[in-house]
Amino acid sequence: MALDQQLLHQHLMKPAVGQGTRIPFLLVRERDVMASIFFVVLMILAGSHLLVGPFSAKPGFNSGWTLRNSNGSISISGEVPGGVYSSLLRANVLQDGDFYYRYNDLGYRWVSKDNWTYSTKLQVTSKELASERVALVFEGLDTVAQVKVNDVLVGRSDNMFVRYIFDVKDYLKVEGDNDLSISFESPVGYAKDEYEQQKADYVVPPKCVVPEFRGECHANHIRKMQASFSWDWGPAFPNLGIWKPWTLASWNSLRIADVLFAAVPASSLPNVPTALRPAWNVTVKAFFDIANSSIPLVGSISVELEGIFNSTTEVDTMPKEDVYTFTTSVFVDEDKVDMWWPNGYGTQRLYDLTVGWKNKHRPEESSKSVRVGFRTVELNQDFVVSEDESKGRHYRVVVNNVTMFMKGSNWIPAHVLPEQVTSKYTKELLEAAANTHQNCIRVWGGGIYESDEFYKIADQLGILIWQDMMFACSMYPVNQSFLDSVTQEVETQVRRLQHHPSILLWAGNNENEAALRGNWYGTWMNFTRYKKDYIKLYVDTIRVTVQKEDLSRPFVVSSPNNGIESEEEGFIAKHPYDNKYGDVHYYNYYGDAWNWRTYPRTRFGSEYGFQSWPSFLTMKQVTVEEDWSRSSHMMSHRQHHPLGNTELNLQIGVHMHMPPNSLVGYQYFLYLSQVHQAVAIKTETEFYRRGMSSLNENGEGFTMGALYWQLNDIWQGASWSSIEFGGRWKMLHYYAKNFFAPVIASPWQDHDQVKVTVINDLFEEVNNVQLKVQLRRWDSFDPVLELETLHIVPANTAHEVVQYSLLDDLKLDVLCSDNSLYFKPEDKCFIWTTLTAGKREHNNFLLLGSPKDADIKKATLKIKDVSADTSGTLDVTLSSDEVALFVWLETPEEGVFEDNGFIMHSQEVMVKFYPKDNLLDPSQLKQNLRVWSLSDTYNEEDHQRFKKNSTMKNRTF
């Protein structure tokens, strides 16, 4: 430790001197530190609020629970933590196959309409009961519950996201058993009652979800996972239960509840003496639950930041309140610290931070550790053109002083029953994001604040988390008890999660500003009232609570929103989807999804997407033969998006031929839906990435974020996901690996020009970028033209590097002619690009016309060989007699391919397969591997029909 720091450190660790004002968290960051003297005083003051006491907890008695429905006709053992649906499944009360099997979402709905009671027996020792405080601590109750000890009501819950502490000392006995029961009220019934009560005053809409959701109404009236009542990609299974761990805790002084951490570079503080720079100003804050606020706390609090500093502070104080706060602040030499970087920009160094308590007079100790990282985050909203404010503001994320393009996707709950989501599965999904170069994931506001594991994994992988508060696509009540509950919720969650370096920002809600402005739920007649409510909830309650706990990262009120501009317009902007401000959600199912002109030049695309179906392998798990047709009842049951199937058929039909309505045609239809989605999102994402360095005359451009909707699935149905329920990658996910790569060449067509933009997301410029642009015919393995150029691509930019005229430079008419005159030149050829720079290689394609019009030959694909290399990776060798489009490899074996959905323009290719967990025998993979391409989905009849109809049309560009 540098000398200056040692001195400061000593000052800091001095015991309390008087009962000054409590130091607000991050005061140092917020205000100017005027001089080092002031700074020292500050440190001393910080030491003065150390408080507090120790703790011992008995782990939750997680077995021996009985679970009963209201009339007692069902009585089974209940898993804790867990949920009613899971326990009923385990007890075989729900026995219709897989949980998500066919129509179980309807068949099992009765569960959510009943009331359920968990009960167990507790034994306590006289020692435990002699403690100053004895309490039941519930990390999460889902949702509306009454907790009774020996028949006495000790607490109530009405919010799934609140940590509850119920005092029970006075109700427990040492002799014999104590009865503990937790009675859950039907969430559906409760939400309805709340709605009715609210309605007496005025309706808080929506009155119900649309019928296509096949869901339950009034999720907005209960603080519970909103999507558990159904969504446009998910079923209704409104769960109940003790969904998170609980303990019976007894303690005499204090119990460490939460540890918060912030590291701010001292150099951002203007008056810090030069000798202290460069340095990090670290603030650690701990919240303690006090046993008895009228008993003095005497003991010591230790803070240890792995290998960086440790300190012990003696405490002798009267806590006065139930929750006590200890804050300490210290300067840390920059050299002592390795920084935390987002995925793709560096490593993710994490440090253990441990706060401990030792009671002086009683043998009582406790400690809590979290993993923290050193990094800064900002959301820059400067005017894009300082002399012309009408051009709008930036919306760009700056991490560690580097402006970074946010590449990623949106996260929804990985299962409708949170207890079914394992850490392993969470890790698999987040790794799939990291492995496709994603550096940002938005935890969307209709799900849950995710598990501790989720954020730990994100910390380790360098995935920044855009964290919504759990409010989505609705108006919400603002009566006092609702607001109080929300305040508790936000406090619980921000204190729990704040220390994670991965959390980039907090956001108040999903789409509620847009919904109100756009009158989605018929609010226009009473706009002023709903607007007032909106501000009360998201600004005056949620924002205030978040910022009381955490000023170390940005807070935005809604997504999409116009950032500062929305605030200046009174929080409900005139145009929440303004391309010149903030973030945009963009969906258009009626435009040409494969044409970049369809898409908006936004500052930050935080949601955009198209639906597809999961593979047949996944659908098969929960369906039977009669469901396997595009027009089956099941296919409309599992399509919750109104008009979803019509739109999907339309989109597939724009560029491809619909396969026949046979069993094989059904499987190809699922595949085509994925082709449509993959190419559409590739087109849109590359368009956004190409726009990172330029601005058009309207002030649109400088796009710095592309988070497609959505990463994962909640069940097996039509959705926007790139990964199927269970973890299988859709074609889109393979495409993401390519379109999110750090250095890419993106070819695009602008009238009669083919242009190639090279995008470089790296800190450093890339030299010697060799770009090959090939013109290739569908009927030949050899390119008909190849143009090669060399470039230097500056750091963190998108540059258009070449521009070729289709007719003059690429000689399309000559090289792509068709003797039969059936086909236009753009239907005979496509563009293939290869970028190489040192070890980097990136391949890409541009279709000049639609595959449905193109002269694609019937390709016969064969799996020639599957062999294992030493690392357990399998090499699959494919051969083809023709150029094949959207080549798709599919296997029931768990694992991912190196690439999939690609254009095969050589007679042979080798594709690696990475098995998930275990070693896989090559012969087993070979046996279970299928491969096909677009031409397989056309039957001969289609080919003939299409050829007959084909006439030479006018050129389209």
709 binds ligand BMA (CB under 6 A): yes
Q: CB nearer to ligand BMA: give 447 or 825.
A: 447
Among 585, 655, 657, 842, binds ligand BMA (CB under 6 A): 585
Report 719-748 residues binding ligand BMA (CB under 6 A). Answer: 720
Active site residue 724: no
Q: CB nearer to ligand BMA: give 79 or 713.
A: 713
Of 132-140, 206-214, 227-235, 925-933, which part binds ligand BMA (CB under 6 A)? 227-235
CB 232 to ligand BMA: min, Å: 5
CB 533 to ligand BMA: min, Å: 20
Q: CB nearer to ligand BMA: give 537 or 793.
A: 537
| Catalytic-labelled residue, pool 79, 304, 489, 511 | 511
Q: CB nearer to ligand BMA: give 510 or 623.
A: 510
H-helix segments, 740-870: 812-815, 825-828
Both structure tokens of 953: 């049309």
β-partners of residue 719 are: 612
- Helices (H) and strands (E) in the chain — how many of each? 24, 44
CB 606 to ligand BMA: min, Å: 9
CB 520 to ligand BMA: min, Å: 10
CB 445 to ligand BMA: min, Å: 8
The closest of 286, 272, 257 to 46, measured between CA atoms, is 286
Report 231-260 residues binding ligand BMA (CB under 6 A). Answer: 231-233
DSSP 874-915: EEEEEEESS-EEEEEEE-SSSEEES--SEEE-SSEEEEEEEE
CB 206 to ligand BMA: min, Å: 12
Both structure tokens of 866: 């599957």
Q: CB nearer to ligand BMA: give 233 or 261.
A: 233
Q: CB nearer to ligand BMA: give 158 or 232.
A: 232
Question: Quick one: how far is CA 129 from the chain centroid?
Answer: 43
CB 516 to ligand BMA: min, Å: 14
What are the residues whose beta carbons fall under 8 Å from the beta carbon of 44, sequence distance 6 or more? Answer: 11, 12, 14, 17
Active site residue 607: yes
604 binds ligand BMA (CB under 6 A): no
d(CA 498, CA 552): 9
Of 229-237, 370-378, 780-788, 801-809, which part binds ligand BMA (CB under 6 A)? 229-237
Of 98-106, 128-136, 228-236, 338-346, which part binds ligand BMA (CB under 6 A)? 228-236
5 binds ligand BMA (CB under 6 A): no
CB 666 to ligand BMA: min, Å: 24
H-helix segments, 160-239: 187-199
The closest of 860, 847, 878 to 936, measured between CA atoms, is 860
CA–CA distance from 50 to each of 141, 328, 548 (Å)? Answer: 31, 8, 19
The crossing angle, in degrees rounded to 10, of helices 423-434 and 452-461 is 30
CB 590 to ligand BMA: min, Å: 14
Question: Which secondary-structure segment (H or E) carries 800?
Answer: strand 797-805
Q: CB nearer to ligand BMA: give 152 or 643.
A: 643
CB 306 to ligand BMA: min, Å: 39
The closest of 904, 858, 911, 862 to 885, measured between CA atoms, is 904
Of 39-47, 230-238, 576-584, 785-793, which part binds ligand BMA (CB under 6 A)? 230-238
Q: CB nearer to ligand BMA: give 213 or 823.
A: 213
Both structure tokens of 948: 């007959």
**What length does the chain have?**
957
Among 474, 498, 510, 615, binds ligand BMA (CB under 6 A): 510
Residue 554 amino acid letter? P
| C-beta separation of 627 from 102 below 8 A | yes
Task: Look at residue 703 and give its three-state secondary structure.
Answer: coil
Task: Look at residue 176 and give its three-state secondary structure.
Answer: coil
Q: CB nearer to ligand BMA: give 709 or 739.
A: 709
DSSP 572: S
d(CA 49, CA 69): 48
Among 607, 826, 890, 936, binds ligand BMA (CB under 6 A): 607
| Catalytic-labelled residue, pool 128, 489, 607, 684 | 607
Both structure tokens of 828: 């005979």
d(CA 419, CA 160): 13
The crossing angle, in degrees rounded to 10, of helices 663-690 and 731-739 is 20
Q: CB nearer to ligand BMA: give 233 or 832.
A: 233
The closest of 920, 929, 922, 887 to 904, measured between CA atoms, is 887
| C-beta separation of 722 from 733 below 8 A | yes
Report 428-487 residues binding ligand BMA (CB under 6 A). Answer: 472-473
511 binds ligand BMA (CB under 6 A): yes
Of 132-140, 226-234, 321-329, 804-812, which part binds ligand BMA (CB under 6 A)? 226-234
Q: What is the largest CA-CA distance in the chain?
A: 97
Q: Which spans of this chain sit near ligand BMA (rule: CB under 6 A)?
A: 231-233, 472-473, 510-511, 585, 607, 709, 720
Indicate which residues carry an active-site annotation.
511, 607
